[in-house]
A and B are shown apart, each in its own frame.
Chain A
Amino acid sequence: MASYSTNEFRGGLKVLLDNDPCIILENELVKPGKGQAFNRVKLRNLMTNRVWERTFKSGESLEAADVMDHDMEYLYTDGEFWHFMLTDGSFEQYAADSKAVGDALKWLKEQDVYTVTLYNDAPLSVTPPNFVELEVVETDPGMKGDTAQGGSKPATLSTGAVVNVPLFITVGEVLKVDTRSGEYVGRVKSS
């Protein structure tokens, strides 16, 4: 496996640190004019999502982590694993456990495409697209005439996610939701 030296460290680089795959967030050179150079590096541990700050002597190197992002279609769950398939035409399938799926669980809709991060060829994490379109399966009926004027209510979507929606939303409508904030964006016009 390749390795990277401190002067190649930059945001987005994936490396192995203490045997865990990490992504470099920031790399700052710290050097007295004529003295020994160091690098102060911020990394996120991709296994735990914790952010680490580590110091390196300039010239030290870290092994590259075999971490790759792939577009994959979500197929189904058997209760224990969530199954995804590469969209590159290879039909290759990967099974992600609940730890890898994490918070993406509430946005998973069959046949939609997600970013699956593979570490040593096994799913490490699943990231939903920034926006998903999901159908409302349950919400209190809105009051007649009480339209866009303020007020909101919870609505349960087909994946089980609950979002706050305006009072005029009804069961069966398809909503656009921002997965980063979990907020309602708008109704999807039915064609």
Chain B
Amino acid sequence: MTSQLDWRPSATRAALKSRAQQSAFVRGFFEQRNVLEVETPVLGRCGVTEPNLDGIAADISAQGVEGGWLQTSPEYHMKRLLAAGSGSIYQILKVFRNGERGSRHNPEFSMLEWYRTGFDDVALMEEVGELVCGWLECARPGVTSYRQAMIDWADIDPFTVSDHDLRRRCRQWLDPRQLEDLSRDGCLDLLMSFAVEPNLGTDVPEFINQYPASQASLARTSRVDGFDVAHRFELYIDGLELCNGYWELTRADEQRARFEADNRLRKAAGKPEMGVDEAFLAALEHGLPDCAGVALGLDRLLMLKVGTRNIADVLAFPLERA
């Protein structure tokens, strides 16, 4: 029986030891490649505009500073370092996402984020494969486009399907009333999570790339086979989403437009609009070197290493015990 007041860790000592080994492996991996370890704030002045990420506000008014958010990702701070000439950098840190708790989620989790100057998405995928498969001792990942994965497992072409047919496909999980206010990307996310994801990376690890441009987030976009796609990739192993990488957008004007579009989506969803991180945009205006970056969930990587489907098995104290 688990109790809310249980003081004991939920991870075994073996899992805790494996976590320490994993950190050492990661640090060794980047030392060999001359990538600099950095630290950026966990508590920042700004949050993120991402429509589907909810930050955790932290009151820092005693410092005479407005705002205060536990960071959902170190991305903006790390890009400011890159703009200042840091060269390739990596970081292991805790990040925070409100409302995310489940067998694969904890509101506070460990992230490995790294940026490689001069790399594009293809080169970075190669390095992700070396790191992940070096640690897990598994076969090198295959690559499937987002479009092909959707065709294979959800029976729709995400770029050409009509809104009507897309909604009809979603009726397997949601009723028409629930679908009414679900956006096109929301419908695609549903199919990705419920129809596609469980089938990804079941034999060998599998990269998904060439996401629809509407899901580019901070990635640059280009035209492939007549469709606008994002230079964004994710890695799946045994149906578990492990990382999210971009060939980074470097244009400040485009980035500002995306932040504003995010806030319009937030407003439509009844969520508070978020202040735009002007320091980050100023860094982009100064000039972000060409680079690719990726964020990888270390708790999930450890779940695969120790062979569990429950994140609580690799956390000393998940939320309920924290």
Q: How far is the CA of A72 from the CA of B99 in the complex (A)?
A: 39
A64 to chain B, nearest CB (A): 19
- A 93-112 contacts with B by CB, 8 A: none
| B52 interface hit (Cβ, 8 Å) | yes
Assess whether A29 is in contact with B100, with CB atoms less than 8 Å apart: yes
Assess whether A33 is in contact with B234, with CB atoms less than 8 Å apart: yes
**Counting chain A CB atoms within 10 Å of each CB, which of B178, B186, B189 scores highest?**
B189
Chain B 179-204 near chain A by CB (<8 Å), digits 1 or 0:
00011011001101110010000000
Residue in A closest to B188 when the chains form the complex, CB atoms: A35
B72 to chain A, nearest CB (A): 10
| B215 interface hit (Cβ, 8 Å) | yes
Assess whether B186 is in contact with A36, with CB atoms less than 8 Å apart: yes
Q: How far is the CA of A7 from the CA of B52 in the complex (A)?
A: 14
> Contact partner of A34 among B50, B102, B186, B194, CB < 8 A?
B50
Interface size bracket, A side: 10 to 19
> Contact partner of A31 among B50, B193, B217, CB < 8 A?
B193
Assess whether B192 is in contact with A32, with CB atoms less than 8 Å apart: yes
| B60 interface hit (Cβ, 8 Å) | no
Chain B 153-183 near chain A by CB (<8 Å), digits 1 or 0:
0000000000000000000011000100011
> Contact partner of A29 among B104, B183, B295, CB < 8 A?
B104
Given A29-B101, A29-B105, also A35-B194 (CB < 8 A): no
**Counting chain B CB atoms within 10 Å of each CB, which of A29, A31, A34 scores highest?**
A34
Q: How far is the CA of A62 from the CA of B154 in the complex (A)?
A: 29
Q: How far is the CA of A19 from the CA of B105 in the complex (A)?
A: 31
Q: How far is the CA of A28 from the CA of B102 in the complex (A)?
A: 6
- A 14-60 contacts with B by CB, 8 A: 27-38, 40, 55-58, 60
Given A7-B99, A32-B241, A36-B189, also A57-B182 (CB < 8 A): yes
6 CB < 8 A contacts A-B: A34-B52, A36-B52, A36-B186, A55-B173, A56-B178, A58-B99
Spell out A's residues near B (CB within 8 Å): 7, 27-38, 40, 55-58, 60
Q: Lowest 3 CB-CB distances: which A-B pairs, in order? A: A29-B102, A35-B189, A36-B189
